[in-house]
Each structure stands twice: as C-alpha cells, then as structure tokens.
Amino acid sequence: MNEKRLSQQLRSFERLLDTYVKGKEPLSRFLTLFFKENRQMGSNDRRTLSRWSYNYFRLGEGLPALPVLERLTIAEYLCCTESDVVALLDPALSHTITETIDGKLLLLANRFSFDVHEVFPLIAHVSADLDTGLFLKSLFRQPKLFLRLRPGAESIVLKCLERNQINYERIGRSCLALENGTKLDQYEELRGMYEVQDRSSQQTGDYFEAKAGEKWWDACAASGGKSLLLMQTYPGVNLLVSDVRSSILRNLDERFEKAAIKDYRRKIIDLTKDPSIILGNDTFDGIILDAPCSGSGTWGRTPEMMQQFSEGKLRYFVDLQRRILQNVIRHLKVNKPLIYITCSVYGAENEEQVAFAEKLGLRLERATLLKGYENRADTMFVARLIKNPL
C-alpha cells in the first residue's frame, strides 16, 4: 500500500463527491465526464475511484451523519474482502474484512448502531414475497452480466468463451452469467450472437405464450429488449412497438437491424393520453406493458438511486402506471393476455397494480416476483392478465 498515493486518491474521491449533483445524471455518465475533465488521472486512479463511488452509494441511506471517508470505509468493508481504504483508515475493521456479510453486519451494528434496513428507501413498502434480509444483503455485491444467446448461436459463443478462458455459468439453453466488467466487444466472431439482457428480464418471456400470426403490441418498448425476446422466441408474430421517445425507438431500430428483424411496425405514442387517436380501432392478441417504474429492483447496478428516491416519486410512478394501464387495455382483444412487467420491488407498483387491473376488467392468470437477489440479477415483477368478456 502506497499511503501517499492512497491519500491523493481519497482527496480526489472527496472532490468527486462534491462535484456530483444527485439526481442530475446517472453516476456512470457523471464518472465518464469527470474523468474526461481530469485527464491527469491514470487508469488505476479511474478504476479505483469508480469502485469507491459505486461502493459508497451501496451504503444508501445508512449512517448519514458520518463523515464521507468514514462512510466510504464502511462501504468498502461491506463490499470487499480486501481494501487499502479500510486498512489505512480503520485497521480494526480490516482484521475482519474476510468475514461473511452476516458477520460484518453484526459487527457494524455493535460498533456503529448500523441497521441494514436503513440502507434502502421505503423498505416497509416492498412486495410481500420479497425476502428483505437477502435482498438488502445482495445490494453490497455487484450483479452479474447476463447474456441471452440468439437461436443457433450457442456453440459459437461457448467455444469462443472457452478458447479465451472466460468464465461463465450456463443457465438453461440460452442464458449465460458472467462477472460484470467482462469485455466481449473485442471478439469479432461474437458480434450479433447475443443480447445483453438480465436473467430476470429473460424470464419474463415465459409469460408471453404467443403464437405465429398473432398481433402483439410492445407498448413501452424503449430500446426493444422485450420485443427482441418475443420475436426470437416466437417467430412469425406481427409486432407493433411504441414509445413516447423517438430517440429510443431509433436505438430499437438499430438493435432490430443487427438481429435481422425487419417485419415490424413502430409508432411514437404517449400512453398517458388516449392511444386510439393513433391506433384507431386496432386491437391486439397480446400486449406487453413493461411499465415505467421506480427501477428499484435494479438499484444494485445503479446504487446512487437509493439516495434519490422518495414516497412522492413512488406515488408518481403508481399514478403513471394506472393511467397507462387504463389506456392500453382498450386495445386488447377479449380473452387475450396483457403481460405487465416492472423492475420494481415495491408492492404498490406490483401486486397493487394487478388488483387495480382486475377492477378494469382483467383477471389474473399468474404472477410472480422474480427474485434476482438470489442469483446476482435484477429483481422484477411479471403478471399475465386476461381480458374478460364484457
């Protein structure tokens, strides 16, 4: 450990935190711009400050009264099995840094009165099926990188990974788990062979049950992850994609082009308003509603969000989801499915929205909380609802 260099890096970290305006932009984008403006920092400095930043925000709302560097030390202690920061600033903690997460939490509770339940905002509002203890502990470990292999590409991808000694875990036929930060862009033979898609997101496809020739609408398509999953799992579906943002639909077009998917329609639709202005009397055999939400099930990847969320923001998303639900189901055929998806852990965005949809004339066929925290993946909610006859 070079104490002089470490002290310089710690000063840079404090300056970085002072510069970061919470809520203005994602931490990942801020770090890119910060390092661009501080070109004197070498690759080791950038890598170290990035790690510290993410670990610092994994502490969420815990121990807010402590000084920045003390909070960083505790965050590093929880997230790592070795840390120069802990060794320098709190040698006593350093002696137990290889303890289990349960052991570390007990030690911090005794020494700092640390309560892990304070880390995550509105923890009392999470879905009933969520194991709060396991979920909270999962926040101190970075989620994995998950790939969905395109049909027929399995052997090409696996041979490339094995030849280059890249560790992976195979989950089913088409899902691979790799350590986050694994670089695959350099392998030309892998281009077009996979999509980066979280394990839980891939599992939502089990609820589609589409058939060739059916008309489906991905109502909040964004960059097209669920649409690609639908089209590659159920070829022959007639697909409409829509989003309120034209820029994100351009991203979708690029992804579809790379996947050689050409036969689809796209429309810019604001689903807070009546979509029949654009869709007319068009109806669908299936609707995917990957609803705008808090994103709380993905905060293991974007931990800075834990310090930016509030009950008011939760109410905003709940109201938005209800307006969208009311508008899209007008275009669903009777006895056909609406697939409701969120990447949220809050009951108000999940089970309570299913209850709301039932009041609108849908019946629940099946639903589940996809417990990504058990697999170093995102936690999501998915429900398959069927439209009742009038």
- Scored b (16 or more CB within 10 A) or e, 5-38 reads ebeebbebbeebbeebeeeeeebeebbeebbeee
Q: How far apart are the first and last CA of the chain?
A: 72
Which two three-digit tokens encode residue 13? 């970290």
Q: How far is CA 236 from the centre of its chain?
A: 29
220 is catalytic: no
Identify which of 231, 217, 290 has the alpha carbon closest to the alpha carbon of residue 261: 231
Which two three-digit tokens encode residue 166? 């890249």
Quick one: CA dihedral 291, 296, 297, 300, positive or negative? positive
C-alpha to C-alpha distance for 239 and 222, rounded to whole angstroms: 14
Burial zone of 311 (CB within 10 Å; 0-12 exposed, 13-18 middle, 19+ buried): exposed
H or E stretch covering 352: helix 351-359
Q: Which residue in 79, 220, 293, 343 is the catalytic one?
A: 343
Q: Which positions ≥6 away from 344 have C-beta within 8 Å?
A: 293, 294, 295, 296, 297, 317, 350, 380, 381
Is 243 annotated to bind a ligand? Reply is yes
> Do 118 and 136 meet the contact criterion of CB atoms below 8 Å apart?
no
Is 270 annotated to bind a ligand? Reply is yes
Is 18 annotated to bind a ligand? Reply is no
Q: Which positions ≥6 away from 74 have C-beta within 8 Å?
A: 59, 62, 63, 66, 93, 108, 112, 114
Dihedral angle of Cα 345, 179, 251, 153, to the nearest 10 degrees:
-120
H or E stretch covering 36: helix 27-37
Where is the binding site, in residues?
243, 270, 290
| Residues forming the active site | 343
Where is the binding site for S-adenosyl-L-methionine, in residues?
243, 270, 290
